[in-house]
Amino acid sequence: MAEFKQTACILCSENCGLEVEIKDGHMARIRGDRKHPSTQGYLCEKAQRLDYYQNHADRLLQPLRRRENGSFEEVSWDTAIQEIPENHLHFRHPILEAPDGPLAEQEIYLRLSKTIGADFATNPLLGPMAQLQQHPAMADLSEEMRVAAAPILMASMMYVEKHSEAVKRAGIQGEGPELGVALFQEIISNLSGVAISLHEYEDTFSLIETEDGKIHLVVESMLNWINELQDESATPVESSQYPFVLSAGERRSSNATTTYRNPLWRRTDPEGALHIHPEDAASLGVQDGDRLVCQSERGEIEVTAEFDEDLRPGHVTLPHGFGLAYAKEGEERQVHGPLINLLTASDHCDPVAKTPYHKHVPVQLSKIVV
């Protein structure tokens, strides 16, 4: 019988509980630890593939340095650590000529700002940005490129104000604004990227920008919020009405985005199924593949059930990125998959970022009878 050892994943701050089978000094199998006090058996796909990262033949075991021809050579750890402070930047140039109609991202922001009546003369960001498009350093660029490159020129000017000596160590020459222009020209003229600065070890603590030059580990506002958690209800609505906890936005084998709109591209999980424990499904009279209504206090959507024994009973999950409209040629646009934003509420959210608490959404489920 296989022997599993308990540990925890460190890929993100959740530190999900793991049970790992070890064979010959390597991870052979990984599963969620049901006894873990917080995650209770839940495991994302990245953690399930930790053995893949450890055992893959292409795993890097030695630092590599890029040669001028694009290939790599092994170097010692001492050499790698010494060369790490060399900072590179790559300004990506267009590969294809832009079609008529679409605008550069910066141009979209500028037009929106003008539409809402933003005063460029007094705006600390938009004013200088508009002026920089007329800077002599932009003379050889097309109008479209000037719009895209203006933020790079501004960033170059601001960067040399703080790191002029490090920029000069990278071989870029000039004084004051001239150094910023020289840095900008190096960035836009090197299609494969360029070293923009070279810091030395002695520079390390000068990069800490607190008033006293120290790293402050205690964030008072965060401690206050943590202390308030003990007085906060775990569930914002009655659990008898919404007995299941939905984690909305689960990352799966393929994470759909707006560039993943065509449902024909989804070779796995094409429906963006609701994962549910078989015991919960049985209590609802639901079979694998049945259609359900998933309803929260805010709204409801239709989903397809898919059994998942790794889930804790009472816990269901849906992926992110689905619910987009797509139309085949000659057909009306149709929504494919669960649009999970219809289930989350803007008033049940993080107090600072205002992001809805999508990982803990109380819901009820009901089978669709045809």
**Distance separating alpha carbons of residues 82 and 106, to the nearest angstrom:** 37
Instruction: Identify whether 92 is part of a domain.
Output: no
Q: In terms of residue numbers, what domain contains 23?
A: 4-55
Q: State residue 335's pLDDT score.
A: 83
Task: Quote the number of domains for the chain.
Answer: 3
What rounded mean pLDDT belongs to the chain? Answer: 84
Q: State residue 244's pLDDT score.
A: 95
241 and 150, same structural domain?
no
Q: How confident is the model at residue 197 (pLDDT cuts 50, 70, 90)?
A: very high
137 and 37, same structural domain?
no
Least confident of 42-51, 115-124, 261-270: 115-124
Q: State residue 86's pLDDT score.
A: 79
Higher pLDDT, 117 or 50: 50
Residue 201 clears pLDDT 60, i.e. is over it: yes
User: Per-residue pLDDT tens for 313-361?
Assistant: 999 999 887 888 887 778 888 888 899 999 998 888 887 788 888 888 9
Instruction: Identify whether 74 is part of a domain.
Output: no
Q: How confident is the model at residue 56 (pLDDT cuts 50, 70, 90)?
A: confident
190 and 260, same structural domain?
no
Instruction: Identify whether 78 is part of a domain.
Output: no
361 and 260, same structural domain?
yes
Question: What are 22's strand-pairing partners?
Answer: 27
362 and 244, same structural domain?
yes
Residue 94 clears pLDDT 60, i.e. is over it: yes
241 and 361, same structural domain?
yes
Residue 173 clears pLDDT 90, i.e. is over it: yes
User: Per-residue pLDDT tens for 104-140?
Assistant: 776 787 788 778 876 666 666 666 766 777 788 888 8
How many Cα atoms are found within 13 Å in the side-chain-facing hemisphere of 273?
18
Least confident of 58-62, 123-127, 249-253, 277-281: 123-127
Our CA angle for 211, 212, 215, nearest 5°, is 100
Instruction: Identify whether 141 is part of a domain.
Output: yes
Question: Per mean pLDDT, which of 147-156, 212-221, 296-305 is the most reliable?
Answer: 296-305
Query: CATH code at 265?
Result: 2.40.40.20
Instruction: Identify whether 334 is part of a domain.
Output: yes
251 and 179, same structural domain?
no
Least confident of 109-118, 158-167, 217-226, 239-248: 109-118
What is the reported pTM? 0.51
Higher pLDDT, 202 or 2: 202
Residue 274 clears pLDDT 90, i.e. is over it: yes
Q: State residue 120's pLDDT score.
A: 62
Considering 37, 55, 73, which residue would you say is the last residue of a domain? Answer: 55
Q: State residue 260's pLDDT score.
A: 59
Considering 161, 186, 207, which residue would you say is the last residue of a domain? Answer: 207
The DSSP element (H or E) to which 26 belongs, if any, is strand 26-32
Residue 237 clears pLDDT 60, i.e. is over it: no
Q: What are phi and psi of 104, to 5 degrees?
A: -65, 150
Least confident of 44-53, 186-195, 260-269: 260-269
252 and 353, same structural domain?
yes
User: Per-residue pLDDT tens for 276-315?
Assistant: 999 999 999 999 999 999 999 999 999 999 999 988 899 9
247 and 357, same structural domain?
yes
Q: State residue 130's pLDDT score.
A: 67
Instruction: Identify whether 41 is part of a domain.
Output: yes
Considering 21, 39, 55, which residue would you say is the last residue of a domain? Answer: 55
Instruction: Identify whether 349 is part of a domain.
Output: yes
Q: State residue 233's pLDDT score.
A: 58
The DSSP element (H or E) to which 364 belongs, if any, is strand 361-367
Q: Which two tokens stand for residue 125?
A: 């960001």
Instruction: Identify whether 129 is part of a domain.
Output: yes
Higher pLDDT, 166 or 271: 166
347 and 295, same structural domain?
yes
Helix 177-189 vs helix 143-169: crossing angle, to nearest 10: 110
Q: State residue 170's pLDDT score.
A: 92
